[in-house]
Structure 1
Amino acid sequence: MLRLSNIKIMPKLIAVVALIGVIVGGCVWYAQSRMSQIDDAYSTFISNEAVAVAEGRRLNRFVFELNYFVYRIIAETDADQIRAANAGFEAAVPNLKATLKSLRDHAPSYAARIDALTTRINTFLTDVTEVRRLGTSNQNEQAIALVHSAIDPTFSTLMVDGNALSNDINAFMQKGSDDLTAQTEATRLSLMIVSGVGMLAGAIAAAFVAMVGITRPLDRLVSVLQRMAKGEIEAEIRESARKDEIGAVGRAVEGIKAMVARKAAEEAEVRRVAEEASAAARKQTMLELADGFERAVGGIVGLVSSSATELQATAQSMTASATETASQSTTVAAAAEEAAANVQTVAAAAEELGSSVQEIGRQVLGSAGLAQSAVGEADQTHHLVQALSQAATRIGDMVGLISNIAGQTNLLALNATIEAARAGEAGRGFAVVASEVKELAAQTAKATEEISQQIGQIQGVTGQAVTAIGGITARIREIDSVATSIAAAVEEQGAATQEIVRNVAQAATGTNEVTSNIAGVAQASEDTGAAASQVLNAAGELSRQSEHLGAEVSRFLSTVRAA
């Protein structure tokens, strides 16, 4: 069976137009046929019944003329008038007979009545012949008597029968005309119904062909194209199996669908390769950043740790020196007290005093050397702490750089998230990577914040160490000054050994001064020990903070390398 989908659009349209043409042609043929029939009927009426009615009316007029001429023949007395009346009568008789013949020819269905009427007319003509003879011979009374007895009844019957025949023929013609009018109305109504039904059928057929064969398949194709525009490339295209133009469009859409699918696959592959390349590049970049950070920050952390170790060693050395100085000061103080106690016996023990003075000189020189060594170590410690502060500052700069990198990474992750959201389903994987990068940037920012806090603590401790070392340096310089004074005094005592006896009072005074100065030296030594302890504690805290900073840096680098 031939399916509608296998017929091309032009034959479909031609078929619909042909159907409508057949319907219109049928209606025209039917109308023409019926109009021809009605026209023939009207022509028949006009050529037969209408002529018969007219002939009937003429027949009555001719009978009336004959009767008129009869009465005129009777009434006229002038021979010329009588001859004129007879001439008129004779002229009317052929017309009467011709009218009878025409009436019979045009009204064959009334032939019997026309024949009866013809018989009466012949009788009338026979009787009128006698009346004409009597009237011509002026036998008017006999003529009138014959007219009343024979002519008038026949004339009356002829007039009645002629009028009745004419009326009947006219009624028949009127009835036929009414029938034809009814047939015309029926034909018009039938034509309207048939035309309406035909046009409705044609419209239904056209709508069916347009909807089933054209519009509905095109709507399905448009729906498929719209779904394909939304990315649904798996939409089924059933119209591709059709044999008409819509099938050709469906097959073209199939080709577009295949091309779109191939293009989507190619774009997916390109995105996958780009994502892999981006991930590899990002991984390499993160590794390079981690390596660079490790080289920069690791060296600084190592330098801080080394400086802290050196600071601890210096602080320990300062503590030992301060302890030794305190011990020596105690010894010197004891010796001074003993010298004060034995000042009265100085003269007797001059040699012992000289030995004691020499011993004091050696002890004072040792104290001065220790003080000078402490000053040098304090200066070195000060420089180390300054280097530690600068290293902490550089670490802060690196942490700021890392924080900026983390902020930029966060912005890049945010931009990547926005682009992934614009890409829709295709950018979901990239959105996950962007989210991980964003999380990593947040962790980096948090780690750098913690490192900044640790560096701030280190800088605070370093500042305290600088202050403490400054105090220690001042104290040690005081010790050095005191030791110098003691050395000068010892030299004076050495020069004045021979005069000790006579300068006992002065020696006692000098001894008291020595005792007082040695007490100051002892106090300075204690202060130096306390400051050295503070430096040692600060160095220990700095070492612990350096170790914690190294651990945080290692954890940060591990996180970056694992990303």
Structure 2
Amino acid sequence: MLNNAKVILKVALPLGILAILAAGLVLYSRATLSDLAAQTKQIVDVQATRLESVLNVRINVNEASIQARNILIETRENEMAQYQSRYGAAFKAVFENVDRLVALSDTEELKAANQTLRDTLTEFFAVMDRANLHGLKNENDTASKILLTEATVGRAKVRAITQPRIERLTAELRQARDDAEQAVSRASTLLVAAAAFGLLGALTLASLIVVFGITRPMGSLVAVLQRMAKGDTDAEIVEARRGDEIGAVGRAVEGIKAMVAQ
């Protein structure tokens, strides 16, 4: 088939293969980048936000506990008011983060777990509010007893719920990071390998076309002309049967051969 194809088509064939390969690599790259973008969005928008929210719950529970103790030991009204304000800010931050966790619940199981956390925090802050109320009245013994017993138990419950979740989310984020790195590595390896094999294949094809489609037939015609120059007119011109430019040259040589034979 290539014997009847024009030289320009033979030259264009490996270039066309390279163009198709390049287009395929571009499409694969876009698909890979889209997958990575979706994976990154999942990591940032969901998992990282969940971890941040759980950590903020823990931090602000501790902050509320510290401010409750400050209220207990402080006797100056202005200072007590400041501690009460900080306690209120920690309380608000805790439930803002819990509500965010509830909003991010994508399964019934997770929603139930977040609701359990919210209920536990509600119980904890009810205890803390009672302790603060006694502390603001300078009923320090009662407030201290509540903080050392009921509040301590409440904080332990919050920690028991949040710590496993922090560890799990941290592990999931690490795994997601590793998966993303592996995906990038696989994509890079495949792109490099495909580009290398494609380029090698195109160069090999181009070399074969040049050797068998152009160089060798032209060399054969040159050999025929050299034999004709020595008076040998019996040489068969196989290239004359080709349908390309070399075939046209071969037929022209046949004409010369016929003239020489006469």
Q: What TM-score does the superposition give when structure 2 sets the normalisation length? A: 0.90
In 1, the alpha carbon distance for the partners of 2:112 and 2:173 equals: 18
In the alignment, which residue of structure 1 is the partner of 2:139?
139
**Gapped regions of structure 2 (runs ≥ 5):** none
Root mean square deviation, CA, Å:
2.0
In 2, the alpha carbon distance for the partners of 1:230 and 1:36 equals: 69
Q: Tell me the CA shift for residue 55 of structure 1.
A: 2.3
In 1, the alpha carbon distance for the partners of 2:85 and 2:236 equals: 108
In the alignment, which residue of structure 2 is the partner of 1:36?
34
Q: Tell me the CA shift for residue 35 of structure 1.
A: 2.1
Q: Higher RCO, 1 or 2 (CA under 8 Å, sep at least 6)?
A: 2
Q: Is the alpha carbon distance of 1:138 and 1:201 closer, same or farther for their aligned partners in structure 2, counting shifts above 3 Å?
A: same
In 1, the alpha carbon distance for the partners of 2:250 and 2:22 equals: 36
Q: Tell me the CA shift for residue 11 of structure 1.
A: 1.6
Give the secondary-structure state (helix, strand or coil) at the position aligned to 1:19. Answer: helix
In the alignment, which residue of structure 2 is the partner of 1:261?
261
The amino acid across from 1:256 in the alignment is I
In the alignment, which residue of structure 2 is the partner of 1:247?
247
Q: Tell me the CA shift for residue 18 of structure 1.
A: 0.9
Give the secondary-structure state (helix, strand or coil) at the position aligned to 1:138. Answer: coil
Q: Tell me the CA shift for residue 121 of structure 1.
A: 0.9
In the alignment, which residue of structure 2 is the partner of 1:207?
207
In 2, the alpha carbon distance for the partners of 1:111 and 1:205 equals: 61
In the alignment, which residue of structure 2 is the partner of 1:402?
none
Q: Which residue among 12, 22, 25 is the counterpart of 1:24?
A: 22
1:27-176 equivalent positions in 2, closer than 5 A: 27-106=25-104, 108=106, 110-176=110-176
**Gapped regions of structure 1 (runs ≥ 5):** 263-563
- 1:50–1:173 contact (8 Å) kept in structure 2: yes
The amino acid across from 1:76 in the alignment is E
The amino acid across from 2:11 in the alignment is L
Q: Is the alpha carbon distance of 1:215 and 1:70 closer, same or farther for their aligned partners in structure 2, counting shifts above 3 Å?
A: same
Q: Tell me the CA shift for residue 50 of structure 1.
A: 1.9
- 1:52–1:107 contact (8 Å) kept in structure 2: no
Give the secondary-structure state (helix, strand or coil) at the position aligned to 1:47. Answer: helix
Give the secondary-structure state (helix, strand or coil) at the position aligned to 2:99. Answer: helix
Per-residue CA deviations over 1:50-95 (Å, capped at 9, x if unaligned) read: 2222222222211111111111111111222222222222222222
In 2, the alpha carbon distance for the partners of 1:38 and 1:27 equals: 16
The amino acid across from 1:140 in the alignment is N
Give the secondary-structure state (helix, strand or coil) at the position aligned to 1:217. Answer: helix
In the alignment, which residue of structure 2 is the partner of 1:188?
188
In 2, the alpha carbon distance for the partners of 1:222 and 1:105 equals: 83
Q: What TM-score does the superposition give when structure 1 sets the normalisation length? A: 0.44
The amino acid across from 1:22 in the alignment is I
In 2, the alpha carbon distance for the partners of 1:163 and 1:229 equals: 96
In 2, the alpha carbon distance for the partners of 1:108 and 1:168 equals: 16
Pair 1:7-2:5 in alignment: yes
Give the secondary-structure state (helix, strand or coil) at the position aligned to 2:233. Answer: coil
- 1:63–1:159 contact (8 Å) kept in structure 2: no
Sequence identity (%) = 27
In 2, the alpha carbon distance for the partners of 1:105 and 1:212 equals: 69
In the alignment, which residue of structure 1 is the partner of 2:218?
218
In 2, the alpha carbon distance for the partners of 1:210 and 1:150 equals: 89
- 1:73–1:132 contact (8 Å) kept in structure 2: yes
In 2, the alpha carbon distance for the partners of 1:196 and 1:24 equals: 11
Give the secondary-structure state (helix, strand or coil) at the position aligned to 1:232. Answer: coil
